[in-house]
Structure 1
Amino acid sequence: MRAVEAELDAAGIGGADLRAAYARCRALHARHGRTYYLATRVLPPDRRPAVHALYGFARWVDDVVDGTAACRVRDPAAVVDAVAAELRAALAGAPARRPVVRAVADTAARHAIDPEYFTAFMASMRMDLTVTGYPSYADLRRYMYGSAAVIGLQVLPVLGSTAPRDHAAPYAAALGEAFQLTNFLRDVAEDLDRGRVYLPADVLAAYGADRALLRHCRTTRRQDRRVRAALAELVGLNRGVYRSAEPGIAMLAPVARPCVATAFRLYSGILDEIQKADYDVWTRRHAVPTARRVRVALPALGRALAARTAASLPTGRAGA
């Protein structure tokens, strides 16, 4: 609890209700976003609450849409519409009832985050209530703009950049897409259970695979060579998105680079685990082993501390 309070103090967040709202988002992030949450521990304390608010809000809405046990509601569409209306009003300065909305609206105001990014996010969440598949990668990317690219764009002002924001923005958006594509590949079985397929149908069809074959693999918990070939192509595509996003890390503020570099390595490491398992996504949910997480995170923490020390030195002393 003291760590939470210290972060909120460092960020200058006051008021019991607002602090409780940020703490709620932090708890959601810690519970559901283990890989990225670990990476945020490398950030300076004053920047962590805003990242937790952005992730916590997105995670909470996603849970409502997915009908998870923690957020099961009778009418998800009605809740999404109500949250969207409450968020619009809160971004315009009105008080918010829901803690996650209160925290994310405060973060948006503090960091001048474009409200359009939240509009796009809510639009993609509505799609998940009715859309169950995507004919092509282009169709999937239209969904991912709101569900993933805008998350990168929201986080960018919080992290800060040395390059002009409009120059760094495409790389931040690409990294959001890269992370989500990794989630789609890791969670094929889980998504099927929810009635959704986030693998482009045209890529599956190129190898003689389709939704029915995916369902067969899920039911039997056995791989099929046609599905394996499609997954291999999509892993390669995902790695290409990571490569296109990577130059943006150097454009971030020095104190933020170790955090994003850590997330980059850990998330792309999930692809390594999928490949090691010969693309078996039916019998396990792939994650980077704890030992590897520690090996990645500890050096990043050292780089982050060095960057913070350099940033605190008077001009001209950092390289002394």
Structure 2
Amino acid sequence: MQPLLLTGYQRTLTRAGIPSPLQAAYTAAAAYMARRERALTLTVRHLAPHELQPHLLAVLAFGCVSDDTADHNPGNTTTVNAWADHTIKALDGSPTTHPVLRALVHTLLVRKTPDHWARIFITRTRDETHFDGFDTDDEFAAYVRSYVHPFLMMSVAVQYPGAADDRQAEEWLPLAEALQRIDFLSDLADDLSQGRLTIPRQDLTDHHLTPCDLAFPTPSPRQVAEVLRLMCRRARTAHEASLACADAAAPTYRRMALAAWDLQGRRLARCETAGLQLLRRAVPVAKTDALRVAVSDAIRQWNSH
């Protein structure tokens, strides 16, 4: 059954010029996003220009499928390498029946977007099966640049015919940092349950903690709460700095950039409120936050006229 968010999506595909033989592939990519990232998909559907919506959802779906393949197969290099090899062959021009890859390849072609961001990202995805956390926050910053930034740039580059140049790409790095800090905070409980430590080990050592202290209920609530507040402060600083990324966006993409920034800020606020509960359960993007973002956008549009 097609998600409610995709009501009328075939009209969107037609308006965007997606050929009929590829519309099923684009619909499958959008449906994947609607299931996995409902609030983000709602934001794209409400705010992104019709001609960009299928392309944005296609590249986002590719990134999410790749990320899920790595996250759901820890240590299973065979499965992850098979997906990476399939992706590279599709980018090289080999036929593929995978709907997300069919949509991705067509999007890169018609948007005149070089595929180097997708190649960098999928190559780095191979390493995700051996993710072992970070010793320091500097290692986290290197992770953002090598893995998260290419993921973000796949969708950002769609807005620039001919792709974003190096200067434009660098301008989006603060948003990549903010998104990942917030994502690690909100998914902390799930990551810990899977044996993934996303808090730098040095931060734990500085507070006289070990990874075992992060089990819920923690035996060291005061020290753990201090570490979580540190993570939240870093995320808040990064989020505030990333607002400038909206100014780097193409005019047709600026509303979407502002909305994405607003949405993640609201998710971060929920993490800040959760405190030690971050060890117990994930903090997803709330549907109510997506609706509030839409209202805020409508107010901005009203005030600008």
TM-score by length of 1: 0.83
Specify the alignment match of 1:310 in structure 2: none
SS at match of 1:95: coil
Q: Does the C-alpha gap of structure 1 residues 98 and 35 become closer, same or farther in structure 2, counting only changes over 3 Å?
A: same
Which structure 2 segments of 5+ residues have no match?
1-5
Q: For each residue in 1:124-174, what CA deviation from the matched residue of structure 2 results, as whole angstroms up to 9, or x when unmatched?
A: 32222112221112222333334321122122222349xx74333223232
Post-superposition Cα deviations, 1:227-251, rounded to whole Å, max 9, x if no partner, equal 2111111111112222332212022
Contact preservation (8 Å) 1:178, 1:241? yes
List aligned pairs for 1:1-320, cutoff 5 A.
3-16=8-21, 18-41=22-45, 42-67=47-72, 76-160=76-160, 165-214=165-214, 216-217=215-216, 220=217, 224-287=221-284, 289-301=286-298
Q: Which whole-Å CA distance do the structure 2 matches of 1:304 and 1:78 have between them?
A: 49
Contact 2:90 2:101 in 1 (8 A): yes
The structural deviation recorded for 1:23 is 0.9
Name the CA shift for 1:5/1:303 in 2 (closer, same or farther; >3 Å). farther
* Partner SS, residue 237 of structure 1: helix
CA drift at 1:272: 1.0
Aligned partners of 2:174 and 2:51: how far apart in 1?
25
Q: 2 CA distance for matches of 1:274 and 1:204?
A: 19
SS for the counterpart of 1:46 is coil
CA distance in 2 between partners of 1:280 and 1:250 (Å): 35
Query: For residues 305 and 145 of structure 1, do their structure 2 counterparts lie closer, same or farther at Cα, with a shift above 3 Å needed?
Result: farther
CA 292–101 in structure 1, closer or farther in 2 if over 3 Å, else same = closer
Counterpart residue number, 2:3: none
Given that 2:39 and 2:287 are in contact with CA atoms closer than 8 Å, whether structure 1 keeps it comes out as no
Q: Distance in 2 between matches of 1:81 and 1:54?
A: 19
Report the AA paired with residue 152 of structure 2.
G
CA positional deviation for 1:199: 1.4
Structure 1 unaligned regions, length at least 5 = 308-318
Task: Answer with 19-28 or 275-284: which moved more.
Answer: 275-284
Query: RMSD over aligned Cα, in angstroms?
Result: 2.7
Q: 1:28 & 1:222 partners in 2: Cα distance?
A: 39
Q: In the alignment, residue 141 of structure 1 is paired with which amino acid?
A: A
Question: Aligned partner of 2:25: which letter?
Answer: A
Deviation (angstroms), 1:183: 1.0
What letter matches 2:180 in structure 1? Q
AA at the equivalent of 2:29: C
Distance in 2 separating the partners of 1:303 and 1:289: 21
Identity over aligned residues, as a percent? Answer: 24
**Alignment length (residue pairs):** 297
Q: Distance in 2 between matches of 1:222 and 1:292?
A: 33
Q: 1:62 to 1:8 in 2, by over 3 A?
A: same
* Distance in 2 of aligned mates of 1:306 and 1:85: 49
